Amino acid sequence: MTKILEATAYLVDVEVETVRTDAVQAFLKQETVFVELRTDDGLTGTGYSYTIGTGGTSVLAMLRDHLLPRLRGCDARLVEHLWHNLFAATRATTVGAITSLALAAVDTALWDLRCRRAGEPLWLLAGGFRREVPLYDTEGGWLHLSTDDLVKGALASQAAGWPGVKLKVGKNRVDEDVERLSAVRAAVGPELDIMVDANQSMTHAEARRRAAAFEPVGLSWFEEPLPADDVEGHVALARSTTIPIAVGESLYSAAQFRDYLARGAASIVQVDVARVGGITPWLKVAHLAETFNVHVCPHFLMELHVSLVAAVPNGRYVEHIPQLRAITRTEMTVRDGHAVAPDGEGLGIDWDRDAIENRRVS
C-alpha cells in the first residue's frame, strides 16, 4: 500500500499570454487549480485543471469540501478505484463541469504519482505509441485578427514546418469568413492543413450554410459549429457536408463522447483532459474513438496533451496555445513541426514553484 498522507488544493491565476477572441468570448485569464498529494513513500504528485476566467473558486471548494477529505489514508496506486469512488461521492453534481474539473485535478496528481513511482514518463505508461506528434497552431488564428495577420501567421507556421493552423470563424457575414479563409489558403497552398472553429456560435441552418461556403477551401475540420449538447444537430450537419466535424472540448464525460461517435456526429474527437475528468477518462475516450476509427486531437493544455496524444495510436494533433510559460521552467519541445513528449518521470511539466506561489489566490 502507498498511503496518501496529505491532499491539498490551491488556486493560481495565470495571465493570458496574448489577446484571444472567438465568436462568443474572450480568454481573459486562466484560473489554474492545483492538487498536491503526498504519500508515505516520500513522493508528491502534482495535478491541475483550469477554467478560462470563471469558476476556479467553485472547483477549489468542491475539492476542499468533498473530494480531498476522501483521499487521505487511501492507496494512491488504485487510480481507477479512487476515480470511481470520488465520482460516486459527487453523484448529485455529475455529470457537470465543476465536478469534472475537480476530478481532473485529483486524477492528474494520481497519474503523476504513478509515473514517478515507476520512474517513467506519462507518454510511456499511458500507452507509449510514439514520442513525437504533429502540431498545429491556433495562436495566429483568433477572430479579432485581420486577414493580413491571419496570412502572416499561417505562413510563419508553414515556414516553421508545422503541418496545420486553426482559424476562428463566426464573423457577422459568411462572406467575411470565406474571404479570410480563402486568403490563407491562397497563401499557403494545398499542403497546409486548415481547421476552423466556431465555438458553438451557430444555429444548425447557419452552420450548414457556412459549411457549404467553406467546402472549396479544403478544410481539415469544422470545430464546434453548434452547441455541444445538440447531438442531433451535429448528426444532421455531419451528413450534409464533406468537412469533418470536430467536437469534444465542451463535453464532460466519456458517455457523451459515446453518443457522438455512435451517431456518426463527430469525425474528430477533441477531448480535454481537464474537462473530461482527468487522464483516466481521457484514455477511455481515446480508445473508444479508436474503435470508431476516429482521430483524437485534444483541446488546449498542450503541455499535458502532448504526452497523451503520443500514448495512443489514434492521436493525430496537438494544439499549440502556450499558456503555462509564466509558471514553468521549461517549454514543450518542438522539432520539425512536431511536439515531443517529455521523457522525464511524471507528467513531464517542470513547474516553477516560486512563480506559482507568487500567483496564488488567497
pLDDT exceeds cutoff 90 at 300: yes
Q: Which of 168, 234, 284, 320 is catalytic?
A: 168
pLDDT (tens digit per residue) in 121-132: 999 999 999 999
| Per-residue pLDDT at 100 | 97
Decide if 152 is catalytic. no
Q: Are 153 and 137 in contact (CB under 8 A)?
A: yes
| Per-residue pLDDT at 28 | 77
Residues 6+ apart with CB under 8 A from 4: 37, 38, 39, 71, 72, 73, 74, 75, 76
Q: Which domains does the chain have, with CATH numbers?
A: 4-119+353-361 (3.30.390.10), 124-340 (3.20.20.120)
Q: What is the amino acid identity at position 151?
A: V
Gap between the Cα atoms of 50 and 97, Å rounded: 11
pLDDT (tens digit per residue) in 171-227: 999 999 999 999 999 999 999 999 999 999 999 999 999 999 999 999 999 999 999
Decide if 284 is catalytic. no
| Per-residue pLDDT at 20 | 81
Gap between the Cα atoms of 27 and 18, Å rounded: 9
Please give the share of the chain, as a percent, with pLDDT higher than 70.
100
What is the sign, positive or negative, of the torsion defined by CA atoms of 136, 139, 142, 146? Answer: negative
Q: Are 70 and 86 in contact (CB under 8 A)?
A: yes
pLDDT exceeds cutoff 90 at 43: yes
Question: What's the pTM value of the predicted model, to 2 decimals?
Answer: 0.96
Gap between the Cα atoms of 328 and 355, Å rounded: 8
Gap between the Cα atoms of 94 and 80, Å rounded: 17
| Per-residue pLDDT at 94 | 86
What is the sign, positive or negative, of the torsion defined by CA atoms of 24, 29, 30, 34? Answer: negative
In this prediction, residues 36-55 reach a mean pLDDT of: 95
Gap between the Cα atoms of 287 and 293, Å rounded: 10
| Per-residue pLDDT at 61 | 97
In this prediction, residues 28-39 reach a mean pLDDT of: 94
Q: Are 102 and 109 in contact (CB under 8 A)?
A: no
- Cα–Cα distances in angstroms (integers) from residue 209 to residues 80, 215, 221, 264, in the given order: 44, 10, 15, 20
pLDDT (tens digit per residue) in 225-263: 999 999 999 999 999 999 999 999 999 999 999 999 999
Three-class secondary structure of residue 140 per DSSP: coil
What is the sign, positive or negative, of the torsion defined by CA atoms of 214, 215, 220, 226? Answer: positive
Reported as a pLDDT band with limits 50, 70 and 90, residue 16 is confident
Beta strands in 239-313 (DSSP E): 245-247, 268-269, 295-296
Q: Which of 284, 295, 299, 305 is catalytic?
A: 299
Q: Give the mean pLDDT of the chain.
A: 96
